[in-house]
Chain A
Amino acid sequence: EAQVTQNPRYLITVTGKKLTVTCSQNMNHEYMSWYRQDPGLGLRQIYYSMNVEVTDKGDVPEGYKVSRKEKRNFPLILESPSPNQTSLYFCASSPPPGHSLTDTQYFGPGTRLTVL
């Protein structure tokens, strides 16, 4: 079954304690992204990756890091989480542009993060 998995699904942590949210896809997609969802703002892209070792900032990258060492995995790293990073996080994957704009992104189930 084609899917994007994220772990953990729920996480409560404290300010400053480094954490990693993992993301993995089994569709051999080149493109992967991280989004955060906040009330009234919809989803906003944090970082994206176009292939292994190719990553770039999205609209709200401050306070986050990513890496893409393998095609299937795209972890999101919060080196020093702060309360304003409390949010619902989604990982997504898709084929590269040129296939078709109709190719929607496949979203993971989401990770609800609370930073106290």
Chain B
Amino acid sequence: AQKITQTQPGMFVQEKEAVTLDCTYDTSDPSYGLFWYKQPSSGEMIFLIYQGSYDQQNATEGRYSLNFQKARKSANLVISASQLGDSAMYFCAMREGRAAGNKLTFGGGTRVLVKP
């Protein structure tokens, strides 16, 4: 079974609007962390935001917020006030506490295109 599922392969968003990128995960480990990365066309992986399994509040970093619903095993990324520079591929990833090698397990990604 897929451990990280991103069901939206691609989406358009109007500049200045908010966009929600879906991510569901599957783990039996009680200790885990969820990450979102941005990959622009240049290819590098840019860390955006982190949510720990024991965190009581949803994580926020500037225009990024993570809608963490633990019972539903979802960790959706919300980008507010989209900018043209937000056009990129976005990956959801999970690190399980017991995973060897600090392994990150990634979803397939969602490509976001911001329209002016």
Binding site for B on A (CB under 8 A): 31, 33, 35, 40-45, 48-50, 56, 58-59, 88, 90, 92, 94, 96-97, 101-102, 104-105, 107, 109-110, 112
Contact = CB atoms under 8 A, between A and B. Distances in A.
Contacts, number: 66
B106 A56 contact: no
Interface in B1-52: 4, 9, 31-33, 35, 43-45, 47, 50, 52
B101 A48 contact: yes
B103 interface: yes
Contact of B43 (A31, A96, A109): A109
Contacts of B50: 102, 104
B95 A101 contact: yes
Q: Interface size for chain B: under 10, 10 to 19, 20 to 34, or 35 or more residues? A: 20 to 34
Nearest to B91: A42
Closest 10 CB pairs of A and B: A48-B101, A42-B106, A101-B33, A107-B45, A43-B106, A110-B43, A31-B102, A104-B47, A40-B108, A94-B102
Q: Among A42, A92, A97, A102, which residue has the most Cβ atoms of chain B within 10 A?
A: A42
A48 B31 contact: no
B78 interface: no
> What's the dominant secondary structure at chain A's contact region?
strand
Given A42-B4, A43-B91, A43-B106, A33 B43 contact: no
A102 B52 contact: yes
A97 B101 CA distance: 9
Given A88-B43, A94-B102, 4 more contacts: A40-B109, A58-B103, A104-B35, A110-B43
A34 B67 CA distance: 29
A107 B43 CA distance: 11
Given A42-B91, A101-B95, A104-B35, A33 B109 contact: no
Contact of A44 (B9, B45, B106): B106
Given A48-B101, A101-B95, A42 B109 contact: yes
A107 B93 CA distance: 14
Nearest to B109: A42
